[in-house]
Amino acid sequence: MPPKKGELALIAQIRQQFATSPTALIAKGIGDDCAILRPPTGTEILVTTDFTLEDRHFRRDLHPARVVGHRCLARGLSDLAAMGATPLAAFLSLALPKDLPSAWTRQFLQGLQSLAQASKVTLAGGDTAQSPTHHILADIVLLGTAPTGTSLRRSGAKPGDRIYVTGQLGAAAAQLRTLLAGGKVRTHHLPQPRLAIGRKLRTKATACIDLSDGLSTDLTHLCEASKVRAELDLASLPIHPTATQNDALHGGEDYELLFTSSARIPKSIATPIGRILKPQKNHPSITADGIPLPPQGWEHFKQ
């Protein structure tokens, strides 16, 4: 389907804002049937895609466009961080309602661009369309690289490994609760994907996942992939000052890294919060202070 007038303007805006010259890594960015990437030799390619859909992942009345743009890219970058990857290129598919004020689009792209610049990732292509409804629809694709064979996975945790988490937990959930209750927030939470730590962990972590769905849910994924159990020590959880223990255990969108290691990890990098145990039949994947902790990953906008 050929672009409509509004879509042509959007494409022009994106091209202008994200204009790049060919580099050693990106031989062709926006402007052909495909982008052409030339990853460094000896690397493997990491790929992740993440939707950002209005009224599912954000609400226009609660989240400023700049914050939505930042988070849209952060979701994909955090997946790269969890694999220990270096960002290579981003692709954005964006469908906008006909009546969307152009200021929204501008601020969304600005939010996305400033995180892209800080993370040294280039927007190398994507797709645009007019949204079939009044909803803003985005899908972000991230490609990254890591030396072949060094990418971190969810599946390598071993009994005896310590469980670690970066940063503090629960801030995003606590803030969203405030917003949903009609409260104001001084500064919107802008998650910072842990790319530098992820790269450091390539040789240190046995398994890694990013905290997008909440600790209880994401640790369950890690345990299932690694075929192990986990015991959490609740007193050691690095809970954000604004958050409750419940936010820290089940709140989503923290975008911190949850990983396991047999090595001692410095406190400056991450906090130890528990141990990996041998699997046992009919035992829950996770216990916290000895009590079963089912995955209760938390949902934004229940329908």
Which 14-43 residues touch a second copy, going by CB under 8 A? Answer: 27-28, 31-39, 41
> Please, what is the minimum distance in Å from the beta carbon of residue 295 to a second copy?
8
Angstrom distance (rounded) from CA 41 to CA 205: 24
Residues of this chain, 89-118, that bind a second copy according to CB under 8 A: 89, 91, 93, 95, 98
Separation of alpha carbons 219 and 211, rounded Å: 9
Q: Which is nearer to a second copy, 36 or 233 (CB)?
A: 36
Residue 290 CB, nearest approach to a second copy (Å)? 24
- Triad 184, 187, 192: Cα angle to 5°: 135
221 marked among binding-site residues: no
Non-local (6+) Cβ contacts of 230 within 8 A are 163, 219, 222, 223, 274, 275, 276, 277, 285, 286, 287
> Residue 200 pairs with which residues in a beta bridge?
none
Using CB under 8 A, which residues numbered 51 to 70 contact a second copy? 51, 53-57
Does the annotation flag 289 for ligand binding? no
298 contact partners, CB below 8 Å, separation of at least 6:
173, 214, 250, 251, 252
Which of 13, 15, 17, 47 touches a second copy (CB under 8 A)? 47
Positions in 164-223 near a second copy (CB under 8 A): 208-210, 212-214, 217
Do the annotations mark residue 43 as ligand-binding? no
**CA 265 to CA 216: how far, in whole Å?**
22
Q: Tell me whether residue 161 is annotated as binding.
A: no
Element (H, E) at 51: strand 43-53
List 69, 87, 111, 125, residue binding a second copy (CB under 8 A): 125
Among 83, 243, 276, 286, binds a second copy (CB under 8 A): 83
Identify residues 133-172 at the interface with a second copy (CB under 8 A). Answer: 133, 135, 137, 139, 141-144, 148, 151, 153-155
Q: Which amino acid is at 276?
A: I
**Piece in contact with a second copy (CB under 8 A), picked from 16-24, 45-53, 189-197, 261-269:** 45-53
| Residue 124 binds a second copy (CB under 8 A) | yes
Could you write out the DSSP letters of every residue in 87-150? EEEEEEEEEE-TT--HHHHHHHHHHHHHHHHHTT-EEEEEEEEE-SSS--EEEEEEEEEEETT-
The annotated binding site is made up of 33, 48-50, 57, 79, 126-127, 154, 210, 212-213, 253, 298
The annotated binding site for ATP is made up of 126-127, 154, 212
